[in-house]
């Protein structure tokens, strides 16, 4: 058994022991040994996107007669096995934190696909008898153009799922906005009583915030459609056919189903990682909105006896190991943590994006790890939060109405009826005595019951209106 545990491969640095059954080769093995950093591997979306790039390259090189049809067909079959069945996905073994630019990751792909394609042509693993990782699988390519292409592609594919999930979340908030439209409550600014709002208006505003954040993310993802593929090592297209970039991107668009185009300037596309900054920034801005909304939900549901308790969040699990009957807003708490993690990821991405030097930014693996990680946890959690939290939210209309009637913020509504000074005086008395403004206004004879009821009509006081039109005092 031990005799066959390894095979010997060679690269230009010498001999390397590679596990006998591994589809990776010498350069991947060196990376495994050199970078035992996190135990985290490349995101599966990045692996799949990179395999799509290798497939597109093989097709383009075959079209341009640089790669013979037999070799191209074997590489294509190896790629399709990964893409269609997930075969060999466990063979991408390089740590997420690795050599700059993703060279180790690129060679991991080249070696796995070369070994599987060679196996299809009846060559033993590690022999590269028919298909070589560099000469064939990596033909017309460099890490420097394939890695950012795969990174952008993976971001677009994952990002589309996030925007779809955001659409579901926005729809759920909008549905609650309609359901709660008639629930009047006290608004709050500075966490102090303010003018009234309707609970439905608050939830409709959450829906708008999510939709706007989704639109910003979609716009940022559009920046990833312009690809550096074909730029080779420095954006000059060295060792590529003059028609290769166009052909490779055309094939990649067909394989991925995305609207992709070659970069207008391949040098710029390999120097600047601004599209990654845009995507990461859009995700960060989304996260800021999600943290704000989650915190609002936690405040509105606080209690149930000693907090605001204007809404009830679904009870999904017991909240305490010591306090019987306690239920916590765990879904909103988890959303906070997911969003906070993405904000932290964005800081790492920003540092990586600005670290480009001359013809290349070598910090791309860090960008890919953090951007795809952020998109992944949002993609995974947003639908759960939508279904297990937002769709089950209930309003306590009586509690909201009681706060509305007790709020000193009603004094603002009374300005035009009793004047600012008198309204302020009554508001101060209400705060001091704990009595409602309604009670004091009627007691002091400042307004009649009918006039006060009209002045405090929920729709009238929570929407703009023509003061000279119907319903004017």
Same domain, 228 and 288: yes
Q: What is the pLDDT of residue 261?
A: 97
Q: What is the pLDDT of residue 470?
A: 47
Of 344, 364, 397, which one is at a domain's C-terminal end? 397
Q: What is the pLDDT of residue 419?
A: 84
Both structure tokens of 134: 């560099």
Domain for residue 466, yes or no? Answer: no
Same domain, 197 and 108: no
Same domain, 228 and 330: yes
pTM of the model: 0.91
Residue 343: give its domain's CATH number.
1.20.200.10
Q: What is the pLDDT of residue 78?
A: 98
Same domain, 283 and 378: yes
Same domain, 102 and 190: no
Residues catalogued as catalytic: 320
The tens digit of pLDDT for each residue in 403-453 reads: 988 877 777 777 777 888 888 888 888 888 888 778 888 888 888 888 888
Domain for residue 258, yes or no? Answer: no
Give me the residues of the chain with pLDDT under 50, please.
1, 470-473
Same domain, 299 and 326: yes
Of 84, 113, 139, which one is at a domain's C-terminal end? 139
Q: What is the pLDDT of residue 466?
A: 58
In whole angstroms, give the CA distance from residue 462 to residue 186: 11
Domain for residue 251, yes or no? Answer: no
Of 139, 173, 194, which one is at a domain's C-terminal end? 139
What residues make up the domain containing 422?
Answer: 407-461
Other C-beta atoms lying within 10 Å of the C-beta of residue 144: 24
Total number of domains in the chain: 3
Query: 449 φ, ψ to 5°?
Result: -60, -40
Domain for residue 277, yes or no? Answer: yes
Residue 424: give its domain's CATH number.
1.10.40.30
Domain for residue 469, yes or no? Answer: no
At residue 310, the 3 state secondary structure works out as coil
Domain for residue 252, yes or no? Answer: no
The tens digit of pLDDT for each residue in 279-313 reads: 999 999 999 999 999 999 999 999 999 999 999 99
Same domain, 291 and 369: yes
Same domain, 198 and 184: yes
Same domain, 26 and 119: yes
């Amino acid at each position: 058994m031990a005799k066959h545990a390894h095979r010997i491969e060679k690269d230009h640095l010498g001999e390397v022991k590679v596990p006998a059954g591994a589809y990776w080769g010498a350069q991947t093995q060196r990376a495994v040994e050199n970078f035992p950093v996190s135990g985290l591997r490349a995101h599966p979306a990045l692996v799949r996107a990179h395999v799509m790039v290798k497939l597109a390259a093989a097709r383009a090189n075959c079209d341009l007669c640089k790669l013979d049809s037999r070799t191209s067909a074997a590489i294509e079959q190896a790629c399709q096995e990964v893409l269609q069945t997930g075969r060999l996905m466990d063979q991408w073994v390089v740590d997420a934190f690795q050599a700059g630019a993703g060279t180790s990751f690129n060679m991991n792909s080249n070696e796995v696909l070369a070994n599987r394609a060679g196996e299809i042509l009846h060559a033993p693993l590690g022999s590269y008898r028919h298909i070589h990782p560099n000469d064939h699988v990596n033909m017309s390519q460099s890490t420097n153009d394939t890695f950012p292409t795969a990174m952008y592609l993976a971001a677009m594919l994952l990002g589309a799922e996030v925007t779809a999930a955001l659409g579901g979340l926005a729809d759920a908030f909008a549905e609650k906005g309609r359901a709660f439209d008639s629930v009047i409550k006290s608004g709050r600014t500075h966490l102090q009583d303010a003018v009234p709002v309707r609970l439905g208006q608050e939830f409709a505003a959450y829906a708008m915030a999510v939709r706007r954040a989704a639109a910003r993310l979609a716009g940022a993802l559009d920046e990833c459609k312009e690809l550096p593929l074909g730029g080779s090592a420095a954006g000059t297209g060295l060792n590529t056919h003059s028609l290769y970039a166009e052909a490779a991107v055309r094939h990649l668009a067909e394989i991925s189903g995305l609207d992709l185009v070659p970069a207008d300037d391949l040098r710029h596309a390999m120097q600047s990682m601004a599209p990654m900054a845009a995507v990461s920034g859009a995700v960060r801005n989304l996260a800021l909105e999600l943290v704000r909304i989650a915190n609002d939900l936690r405040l509105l549901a606080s209690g149930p006896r000693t907090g605001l308790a204007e809404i009830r969040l679904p009870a999904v699990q017991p909240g305490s190991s010591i306090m019987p009957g306690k239920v916590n807003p765990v879904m909103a708490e988890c959303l906070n943590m997911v969003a906070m993690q993405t904000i932290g990821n964005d800081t790492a991405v920003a540092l990586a994006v600005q670290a480009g030097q001359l013809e290349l930014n070598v910090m791309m693996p860090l960008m890919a790890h953090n951007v795809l990680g952020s998109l992944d946890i949002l993609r995974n959690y947003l639908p759960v939060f939508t279904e297990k939290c937002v769709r089950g939210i209930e309003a306590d209309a009586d509690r909201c109405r009681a706060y509305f009637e007790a709020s000193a913020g009603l004094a603002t509504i009374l300005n035009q009826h009793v004047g600012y000074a008198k309204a302020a005086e009554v508001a101060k008395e209400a705060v001091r005595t704990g009595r409602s403004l309604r009670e004091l206004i009627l007691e002091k004879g400042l307004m009649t019951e009918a006039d006060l009821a009209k002045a405090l009509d929920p729709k009238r006081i929570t929407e703009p209106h023509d003061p000279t039109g119907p319903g004017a005092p």
